[in-house]
Structure 1
Amino acid sequence: MDFMSSDEEFSLVMEPLKSSEETLEGIQNLISNYKIQCDQLVHEQTDLANMIKDSKKMTQDCKKRSIKLAKSLQEDKQSHQEQMDSEMERQGMLSQEEFKLMKDIQEVQAALREEEANFEQLKQQTDVFTIVPEKTVVFKGKTCDAGDVPMFDMTSRIVYPMVEGTALITFEEEEVAKRILSMKKHQVKLGEECHITVEAQPVQLILPELVEIHSEVCPQRILISNLPEMDMETLLDRLQLHFFHSKHGGGDVEHCEVLPDSGTVVLTFLKDNISKGLTEKEFHDVKFPKKIHTVRVTPFLNGKIVNLKTKMTVCPRTVLLTGIPRVRNDSLPDHVEIHFQRSSNGGGELEAFLYSPLGQHTSALFESVDPKKEQL
């Protein structure tokens, strides 16, 4: 048998209470709360609208400021670019000025070097003239125009190497040489049944047309002239001995030589500037074996060619004969010379004849004795 528990037997049932919202007071409170919330929402909406308005205004201000800043930045950029362009142009002008200045400096330096070279040359020329002892000069000639003054002239001596089997003939008349050249081929008889054929060709020489020589006084050499006639070896020994002694103003002699065809002697000292004192005195009494003779001491000039112009000249009276074979005939040169002397062969009177046989090396010496003539 089942028994019910005390809880099941005694249960308490209570009616539910009505909510406070369903009461008038609760509703009024709720409405008041909603009204407060609504007022808060309206206030928040107003604040939000104001904030939106402020944000729009701020945005517009920022936009205007951005535009202004962008414009200012563009202007600054343009101004900076203009400054850069101006600076680049200025740098270019400075570079051009610097280049021009460098060029001017180089030109000035070149001109200065040229002036220094000219000054040195003038100084050397002055030394050439001032080192020569002064003399009293009395003019006894006649005056003439400046254009009539003869220019410096010189005689050419040309060594002409001859080819083997050739000959050179110089005629007295130019017309004879022209005639021989125009005939060109010539048969020269060596006997009754023997002859050779030679060819006449013009002789071309290279002659100096203009020669400029730069001269300067040599500090170690002297030129001794007015020498006595005696044995050359004894003469050189006496000169060296005299100018060796310091009491005569001399010093150690390095070399002593005779200048060919001049009758003068060149004395070279080991030290510089000894020659200056000797040339200032000019005349010196030298003791020779039989007597005391007065010699003259003058400066020795070193010359250097600084300008040389040449021209090709055809000898008007000399003819070159080529093609002369090797012939066992000692009278061959005589036959050739006689052949070109005969007028029947177109020849004429000869002034000179030079033969260079095969197997030998011969040189001819040409000397100009007249602008229109040459001497072999």
Structure 2
Amino acid sequence: MSEEDFSIVPEDQCTLGAIDGAIKKYMVQYDQLLSEQRELAISRDEQRLLAERFRERHNEAARTIEDDKSNFFMDIESEKETLEILKQQQSQLRRDIETENAAYCELQGKHNAVKKQSEASTALPEKEVVFTQTTWDAANPDGLDLKTRVIYPMEGGTALITFEEEIVAQKILSMREHRVGLGEECFITAVAEPVQLIVPSYVEMDTRISSRRVLVSNLPDQDGDSLLDKLEIHFGKSRNGGGEVEDREIQDDSGGVVITFCDTNVAKGLIDKQHHEVEFGKGNKHKVKVTPFLNGEIRLFKTKLSVCARTVLLTGIPAVMAADGLMDLLEIHFQKGINGGGEVEAILYNPLGACTMALFEGDSSPER
């Protein structure tokens, strides 16, 4: 710097005091700048921290949105599967409803058939009945109340003896071998064996009303052929509600007559009217009753082996004399208590070489 430059500086500014004042002034300004710089640094750091937190929140929010989006699609798939299951269940329910409706219709048909048969049963011919004795065992409600008839083929050289008391038959069986005297120290040996029969134990039947047959009851006492002819003439005429008769038959058990028509539309009209006046002679009219005829078909038939309680089979009887005489000797022998016997209700002997069929019927005695 030249001397000229110093010469133009004011004198009062070149003093030490002035310089010191200027330094202090600049120091104050410097301190203020440092303070502002620190504040700016703090503010910068805070902004960076806020920016970092914002960035973290942003990333977290983005992850949450992504997770929610993934869960949303998963929920949609789950709901689709649930909807498909519900559709399948709905289809199954519809099939079940259709099955139940079919079963209901079938049951309704059976109900109507049973109702029709019940109505027919109420219209069956009246028959007077009277109490005779107890035939049903109350302790055995599952028993079968049937009138059993069994044909028993007898072998040659055998006899059947039925005693009045069961205990006698059991005693004869327990003794097994019996020495029967024929007179003059002559005797035969007969072996006692139980009689085993195959009898019904359970029967199921289907019954239905015949569309072409009717049962005519409440008939007058007339000759069978004449009775059938009069009924065929009457019910063969359309003016009497009848039609062409295919067959007629008298029932031996009830005395009623079963008439079969060729046309299926005849029977119902006669049954609906029920009571008909039939002429069985000049001026001799009689009111008969026409009711449905039930056809029966066995669906299930079970049998069991039954041992006769009062009947004994004797085997090994030789043909040593006439059949009648030998049967009398057997009866006499087994009537004596000394021989283990008792009162004989029936006896049947089948000689060697002969063929005899024994008929067994249901025992109506109280103990049976």
TM-score, length of structure 1 as denominator length? 0.61
Aligned-residue identity in percent: 31
Partner AA of 1:342 in structure 2:
K
The aligned counterpart of 1:355 is: 349
Query: Does the 8 A contact of 1:188 with 1:196 survive in 2?
Result: yes
SS of equivalent to 1:105: helix
d(CA) in 2 for partners of 1:371, 1:218: 42
Structure 1 position 333 matched with structure 2 position 327: yes
Query: Does the 8 A contact of 2:168 with 2:340 survive in 1?
Result: yes
Partner AA of 2:246 in structure 1:
E
SS of equivalent to 1:368: coil
Measured against aligned partners, the alpha-carbon deviations of 1:81-133 in whole angstroms (never above 9, x if no partner) come to: 6644543343234324433443343234323321332133213423554x679
Cα 1:368–1:207, aligned 2, differ >3 Å: closer, same or farther? farther
The aligned counterpart of 2:155 is: 164
Q: 1:294 aligns with which of 286, 289, 308?
A: 286
Question: Deviation at 1:197?
Answer: 2.7
Question: Deviation at 1:307?
Answer: 7.8
d(CA) in 2 for partners of 1:119, 1:297: 24
Question: Deviation at 1:366?
Answer: 1.0
Larger radius of gyration: 1
Query: Does the 8 A contact of 1:275 with 1:299 survive in 2?
Result: no
Measured against aligned partners, the alpha-carbon deviations of 1:180-206 in whole angstroms (never above 9, x if no partner) come to: 122233233445334133123154553
Query: Does the 8 A contact of 1:203 with 1:319 survive in 2?
Result: no
Query: Does the 8 A contact of 2:163 with 2:311 survive in 1?
Result: yes
SS of equivalent to 1:369: coil
TM-score, length of structure 2 as denominator length? 0.62
Cα 1:358–1:83, aligned 2, differ >3 Å: closer, same or farther? farther
Q: 1:264 aligns with which of 246, 256, 269?
A: 256
Query: Does the 8 A contact of 2:192 with 2:312 survive in 1?
Result: no
RMSD: 4.1
Note the 1:1-376 alignment, pairs <5 A.
83-129=76-122, 156-165=147-156, 166-190=158-182, 192-204=185-197, 206-207=199-200, 214=207, 216=209, 218-230=211-223, 232-279=224-271, 280=273, 282-288=275-281, 292=284, 294-304=286-296, 313-321=306-314, 323-325=315-317, 327-331=319-323, 332-359=326-353, 360-373=355-368
Partner AA of 1:365 in structure 2:
F
Question: Deviation at 1:347?
Answer: 0.8
Measured against aligned partners, the alpha-carbon deviations of 1:157-181 in whole angstroms (never above 9, x if no partner) come to: 3213234144322111222122212
Question: Deviation at 1:352?
Answer: 1.2
Unaligned runs of 5+ in 2: 1-64, 126-140
Query: Does the 8 A contact of 2:210 with 2:294 survive in 1?
Result: yes
Partner AA of 2:149 in structure 1:
I
